[in-house]
Chains A and B, each alone.
Chain A
Amino acid sequence: MAGIELDRISKHYGDTVILEELSLAINEGELVVLVGPSGCGKTTILRMIAGLLEPSRGRIRIDGRDVTETLPGERDIAMVFQSYALYPHMTVFENVAFPLRVRRLAPGEISRRVNEVTKLLGIDHLLGRKPAALSGGQRQRVAMGRAIVREPKAFLFDEPLSNLDAALRGRMRGEIAGLHRRLGATMVYVTHDQHEAMTLADRLVLLNKGKIEQMGRPLDVYREPKTRFVAEFIGSPPMNFVPVEERAGSLAGAGFAVPLSAVGVKSGVPGGRLLLGVRPEALKVATSGEALPTLKAEIDWIERTGSDGYLYARVGPTSIVARLSAAAGQGLSPGQRVDLSFSQARLFDEVSGRAVDDAGVA
């Protein structure tokens, strides 16, 4: 097992810049999820780690060894593709055995390891089949088996679950997490699905336009997004943003004002336009006499899913969403005015998109 280090790597295609001076250190045994919207460069990073792409500048090290010019096959990493990339003309056994055959292992050793791995993944009864005769989930497992069987230094996952249906996706997610626990291997996982990112990651790296927007433990990123982009990308439904202005130590919006302390900022708030960021799950319908800061809103409509519900409302001209417990929504109806209180919020500079906290504008 080994760490992976990206040292100021850049990737250009002609005049198009995909990545610029990006550095990232992945620790041994860590499961890092690269997440971001499409075109953010996350797959490019993964392919550069794999050796399928060469960085225009910068170095890549695996386990301390510079592998920037090393061929993919000599980096001792395994990759699971979105398409699974199973060899259609080989049986499951042959597929899983392929990397071992390439390394000229003894046939006995190969079949021992293939059997072991396929048993672990629960596909040992499929060994004689060809990929065409497998279900999506089975193919996924074969692809994982092919990766695991080599006992590589690191695993790379390129959106491995996006071709599965929702139920299967959940289960496979669990299996990958379990695998990571069991193998203790370094894993780099690329996805555009923030849910996968949150549940799987030891550390989450959020990319945007070829730059790291923020990284950290998933919950830290969730709680303390450093930019509006992060705040919007992580969390579902996304964070609400309400325009406010700083007026004499408090933040004033459309028909409401909250103290600066409500966003954890003491002083030094810049002038100009600000956004109050409140997550839907932090909002509650205020009961009278409550001490928490509140927003004045008018209800548009209410959605109930049984276990909980969503309240869609407007604060002045701004639409917001609040997540309600099943009981909390009782008795509310569209058109009604309510006070929505919040326990937690963050302040963002509207122009730069950066969070405003104690250190001033970041």
Chain B
Amino acid sequence: MSRPRLLLRLAAYGVLVLTALVVLSPIYAVLVMAFSRAPGFSVVVAPDWSTFTLDHVKGFLSTHDAEGRWLFGRQLLNSVVVSGGATLVGVLFATSAGYAFSRFKFPGHRAGMVGFLVTQMFPGTMMIVPLYLIINALGLVDTVAGLVAVYATTALPFCVWMLKGYFDTIPIDLDEAALIDGASRVRVFYQVLLPLARPAIAVTALFSFLGAWNEFILAATLLSREEKFTLPVTLYRHIGAYGADWGAFAAGSIIVSIPVCVLFLFLERHLVGGLSAGAVK
């Protein structure tokens, strides 16, 4: 495409820089809270760097429980295991379901797709108590498996829609060619469609991960051992009945957000880009 005039280009940069600044300023506020001794928000405009401190961060990182176990380490591990597990299970289920919805016509096809959408319409806060009862009946309270199951399924509707849509863009000729070549349905699925759907899988994986990583209400309800907590539960503990430790909360927010930011950084290209090259023409 041709380059527009210099003035227009400068305007585009200007708008982008301005937007980026607006977008970043609240994050900056959190940084100031996390790294300065003064609590609260009024420091934002003119931060006083003489009060710079790493105490909040250190405090968040170095929590130990009564038995001397390094809680942060365990909770980080829990978060990683729970989010990773939920992502894995969710994506596995969603790709398989998305494939079925994209490639087969069967009784219940339409009802299924609409059903996924419908599940998004009931307020989530009303689902907490029933969910607890079910997870309890399954004997999964206080287990990683219970949380993984809940997170994976709550992410499913979006993931299935997303993947079904992407599979639809992959020419069905490829499936047929592979079928004729002697591949089974399962093989077609994992050797032909899955590699081609990588961008969509990356997006859905990221989405599932994000949802699981940031969730705290369900986690706080379903877990009751401190060493089993995920990070957001711990993070929310800094907001108590009678006041909040904003510095620790901000420090925790940053620590909790970093892995997700890094993931985004790595998957960003996938997130946006399609696998347009090499598709059947």
A74 proximity list for chain B (CB < 8 A): 182
Question: Is B281 an interface residue, CB under 8 A from the partner?
Answer: yes
Q: Are A51 and B180 in contact (CB under 8 A)?
A: yes
B277 proximity list for chain A (CB < 8 A): 88, 132
Q: Are A87 and B184 in contact (CB under 8 A)?
A: no
**Number of chain A residues whose Cβ lies closer than 8 Å to a Cβ of chain B:** 30
Q: Are B278 and A50 in contact (CB under 8 A)?
A: no
A146 proximity list for chain B (CB < 8 A): 177, 181
Question: Is A218 an interface residue, CB under 8 A from the partner?
Answer: no
Given known pairs A52-B176, A73-B181, A150-B181, the reply for A83 and B171 (CB within 8 Å) is yes
Residues of A51-82 contacting chain B, CB below 8 A: 51-52, 71-75, 77-79, 81-82
A79 proximity list for chain B (CB < 8 A): 176-177, 180
Q: Are B174 and A73 in contact (CB under 8 A)?
A: no
Question: Is A316 an interface residue, CB under 8 A from the partner?
Answer: no
Q: Are B181 and A98 in contact (CB under 8 A)?
A: yes
Q: CA separation between A4 and B223, bound complex, in Å? A: 64
Q: CA separation between A60 and B279, bound complex, in Å? A: 33
Given known pairs A84-B280, A89-B278, A132-B278, the reply for A73 and B177 (CB within 8 Å) is no
Closest chain-B Cβ to A154's Cβ sits at a distance in Å of: 11
Q: Are B278 and A72 in contact (CB under 8 A)?
A: no
Question: Is B192 an interface residue, CB under 8 A from the partner?
Answer: yes
Question: Is B134 an interface residue, CB under 8 A from the partner?
Answer: no
Question: Is B187 an interface residue, CB under 8 A from the partner?
Answer: yes
B179 proximity list for chain A (CB < 8 A): 51-52, 71-73
Q: Are B173 and A98 in contact (CB under 8 A)?
A: no
Q: Are A83 and B181 in contact (CB under 8 A)?
A: no
Residues of B126-177 contacting chain A, CB below 8 A: 171, 173-174, 176-177
Q: Are B180 and A50 in contact (CB under 8 A)?
A: yes
Among B174, B181, B184, B280, find the residue whose CB has the most chain A CB atoms closer than 10 A: B181
Question: Is B202 an interface residue, CB under 8 A from the partner?
Answer: no
Question: Is B196 an interface residue, CB under 8 A from the partner?
Answer: yes
Closest chain-A Cβ to B16's Cβ sits at a distance in Å of: 31
Closest chain-B Cβ to A56's Cβ sits at a distance in Å of: 15
Closest chain-A Cβ to B185's Cβ sits at a distance in Å of: 9
Q: Are B278 and A83 in contact (CB under 8 A)?
A: no
Among A51, A73, A103, find the residue whose CB has the most chain B CB atoms closer than 10 A: A73
Q: Which of A71, A77, A81, A103 contacts B177 (CB 8 A)?
A: A81
Question: Is B275 an interface residue, CB under 8 A from the partner?
Answer: yes
Question: Is A86 an interface residue, CB under 8 A from the partner?
Answer: yes
B173 proximity list for chain A (CB < 8 A): 81-83, 85
Q: Which of A77, A78, A98 contacts B178 (CB 8 A)?
A: A98
B180 proximity list for chain A (CB < 8 A): 50-52, 72-73, 75, 77-79
Residues of A144-166 contacting chain B, CB below 8 A: 146, 150, 163
Closest chain-A Cβ to B193's Cβ sits at a distance in Å of: 10
Q: Are A85 and B176 in contact (CB under 8 A)?
A: yes
Question: Is A102 an interface residue, CB under 8 A from the partner?
Answer: yes
Q: Are B280 and A85 in contact (CB under 8 A)?
A: yes
Q: Are A102 and B278 in contact (CB under 8 A)?
A: no
Closest chain-A Cβ to B198's Cβ sits at a distance in Å of: 8
Q: Are B182 and A88 in contact (CB under 8 A)?
A: no
Q: Are A88 and B176 in contact (CB under 8 A)?
A: no
Residue on A nearest B184 in the bound complex, by CB: A73
Q: CA separation between A125 and B163, bound complex, in Å? A: 36
Closest chain-A Cβ to B199's Cβ sits at a distance in Å of: 12
Per-residue contact bits, chain B 247-281, to A (CB 8 Å; 1 contact, 0 not): 00000000000000000000000000001011111
Question: Is B195 an interface residue, CB under 8 A from the partner?
Answer: yes
Residue on A nearest B173 in the bound complex, by CB: A85
Question: Is B80 an interface residue, CB under 8 A from the partner?
Answer: no
Question: Is A29 an interface residue, CB under 8 A from the partner?
Answer: no
Per-residue contact bits, chain A 88-114, to B (CB 8 Å; 1 contact, 0 not): 110000000011001100000000000
Question: Is A293 an interface residue, CB under 8 A from the partner?
Answer: no
B binding-site residues for A, Cβ under 8 Å: 171, 173-174, 176-184, 187, 192, 195-196, 275, 277-281
Can you identify 7 A-B contacts, CB atoms within 8 angstroms?
A72-B176, A77-B180, A81-B177, A88-B275, A98-B183, A102-B183, A132-B278
| Contacts A73-B180, A73-B184 supplied; 17 other A-B pairs, CB < 8 Å | A71-B179, A72-B179, A73-B181, A73-B183, A81-B173, A83-B173, A83-B280, A85-B173, A85-B174, A86-B280, A87-B174, A87-B177, A88-B279, A89-B195, A102-B183, A132-B277, A146-B177
